[in-house]
Amino acid sequence: MVEDRLKAGFYLARHYHKKMTEIFYLLEGQVTFSFEDETVVASQGMTINIPPHITHEVKSEKGARLLTVFSPGGFDKYLKEMAAMTEGQFADGDLMRTLAEKYDTWMV
């Protein structure tokens, strides 16, 4: 489980997970989850459950705070690796794709 603080203008491009289920619980703010056939604007107190193989993107115009459960666990290691990266590493698309796929995040 991770507590996320999304900055204003947060955007996570379309992706899916082959094994991981994500559960988001909104503590503050609003987050827009866009799926293949619908868009859900989640606000305080709402829970969003995203099972494996569901393509989604995530946006937060004004920022938000949420709890995220990743099952199976291990996604925290992905976040830890990214926290230690330089700007140059973030700009390396091949490196970022390889790292994302290592932690079951597949960009579309």
For 62-107, give the secondary structure using H, E and C. CCEEEEEEEECCCHHHHHHHHHCCCHHHHHCHHHHHHHHHHCCCEE
| pLDDT score of 59 | 98
Give the model confidence (pLDDT) of 74-102 as tens digits.
988 998 999 999 999 999 999 999 999 99
| pLDDT score of 61 | 98
Output the CA torsion 85→8→68→41 (10° steps). Answer: -140
Percentage with pLDDT > 70 across the chain:
100
Give the model confidence (pLDDT) of 45-67 as tens digits.
999 999 999 999 999 999 999 99
| pLDDT score of 104 | 97
Architecture of the domain whose range is 2-107: Sandwich (2.60)
The domain segmentation of the chain, as residue ranges, is: 2-107
